[in-house]
């Protein structure tokens, strides 16, 4: 196993923690018939990291990868985008793989990530000492769904981030294929309510918790210091303690593909948070970042 990270004395502003997989997408048809495919990468947390880096901030992605060519490819692409890499390589566990199967009604995804290197992350993966100087630690609801050790790692990460003086950011990001609805609903509610900043889609909240409106979600998650409810092409609402809710409508966009837009929104919002901008401006920055991804087939912003 090998590892690399910046020294705590030169810490990035934000660290995003979670799995990135190799993404296999067939060309010219469905998986069952296509003869060629492209190889890319897929990972909510690395998408957010890349977006924050593109916005001009120092951001690190922390995870584990197999010591294999797919892991090399992921590191090469993220490094090319200026992402700082806090990555352990594992010779005994592989890099996860995701297949996308395009269809007339949308894409279906197939995960091959059980037993992946990232799924072996465990408590203490990032210590308070390693996080010294970091302002925000971000993760998502995908990470605790990967394994029992990842769930324990996320619980400890909340504690260790705060011990290091960082705020905890959490995007609910429910992934139905990864765990049961019952387990997901309870765990995601607990983590979302405990975070300093939480992002959740209105539709996913209704699906897993039965909360129909942004106000219902706020009532369900009363302890989160800053709750951001995204409602697709309607807009987004921010709920902060001691303040009236702030709503900013979404811009009109000719959508090419919605995949990655939620991660882009989080990256725009968090970049504006690092700049200490007002809530309305943070929401607008989130919408602008999402729009840049919605008009392409890519999950990440273009390199400029």
The predicted-structure confidence for 73-119, as pLDDT tens digits, reads as follows 999 999 999 999 999 999 999 999 999 887 666 678 899 999 999 99
The CA distance from 11 to 59, in Å, is: 9
What does the pLDDT read at residue 5? 44
Section 216-244 average pLDDT: 96
Per-residue confidence (pLDDT) for residue 29, from 0 to 100: 84
Q: Is residue 302 part of a domain?
A: no
CATH number, domain containing residue 49: 3.40.1190.20
Is 299 domain-assigned? no
- Which of 52, 96, 93, 76 shows the shortest CA–CA distance to 289? 52
Quick one: pLDDT at residue 108? 84
| Integer angstrom CA distances of residue 246 from 46, 173, 239, 279 | 28, 22, 7, 7
| Residue 263 is a catalytic residue | yes
Residue 170 belongs to a domain: yes
Give the Cα separation of 266 and 261 in Å (integer).
Answer: 9
Q: Which pair of structure tokens corresponds to residue 55? A: 């916005």
Examine residue 303 and state whether it is found in any structural domain, yes or no. Answer: no
pTM of the model: 0.91
Q: Which of 90, 174, 263, 299 is catalytic?
A: 263
Q: Return the closest-CA partner of residue 204 out of 219, 184, 224, 190.
A: 184
pLDDT in tens, 47-65: 999 999 999 999 999 999 9
**Confidence tier at 233 by pLDDT (50, 70, 90):** confident
Number of domains in the chain: 1
Q: Quick check: is 301 in a domain?
A: no
Whether 300 maps to a domain, the answer reads no
With a cut of 70, say whether residue 268 has pLDDT above it: yes
Domain residue limits at 181: 2-294
- Does a structural domain hold residue 71? yes
Q: For residue 304, is it within any domain?
A: no
**48 Cβ partners below 8 Å, 6+ apart?**
16, 138, 171, 263, 266, 267, 270
């Amino acid at each position: 196993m090998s590892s690399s990270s910046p020294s705590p004395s030169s810490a990035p502003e934000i660290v995003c923690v979670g799995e990135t997989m190799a993404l296999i997408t067939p060309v010219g048809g469905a998986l069952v018939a296509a003869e060629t495919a492209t190889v890319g990468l897929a990972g909510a947390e690395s998408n957010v990291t890349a977006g924050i880096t593109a916005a001009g901030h120092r951001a690190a992605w922390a995870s584990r990868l197999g010591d294999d060519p797919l892991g090399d490819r992921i590191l090469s692409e993220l490094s090319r985008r200026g992402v700082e890499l806090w990555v352990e390589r594992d010779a005994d566990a592989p890099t996860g793989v995701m297949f996308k199967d395009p269809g007339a009604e949308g894409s279906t995804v197939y995960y091959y990530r059980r037993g992946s290197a990232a799924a072996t992350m465990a408590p203490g993966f990032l210590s308070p000492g390693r996080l010294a100087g970091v302002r925000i630690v971000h993760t998502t609801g995908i990470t605790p769904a990967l394994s029992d050790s990842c769930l324990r790692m996320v619980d400890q990460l909340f504690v260790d981030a705060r011990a290091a003086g960082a705020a905890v950011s959490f995007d609910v990001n429910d992934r139905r294929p990864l765990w049961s609805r019952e387990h997901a609903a309870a765990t995601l509610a607990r983590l979302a309510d405990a975070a300093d900043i939480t992002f959740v889609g209105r539709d996913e909240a209704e699906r897993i918790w039965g909360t129909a409106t942004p106000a219902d979600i706020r009532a369900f998650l009363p302890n989160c210091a800053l709750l951001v409810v995204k409602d697709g092409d309607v807009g987004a609402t921010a709920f902060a303690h001691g303040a009236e809710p702030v709503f900013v409508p979404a811009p009109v966009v000719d959508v090419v593909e919605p995949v990655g837009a939620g991660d882009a929104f989080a990256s725009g919002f968090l970049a504006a948070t690092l700049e200490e901008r007002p809530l309305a401006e943070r929401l607008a920055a989130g919408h602008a970042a999402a729009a840049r991804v919605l008009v392409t087939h890519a999950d990440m912003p273009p390199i400029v």
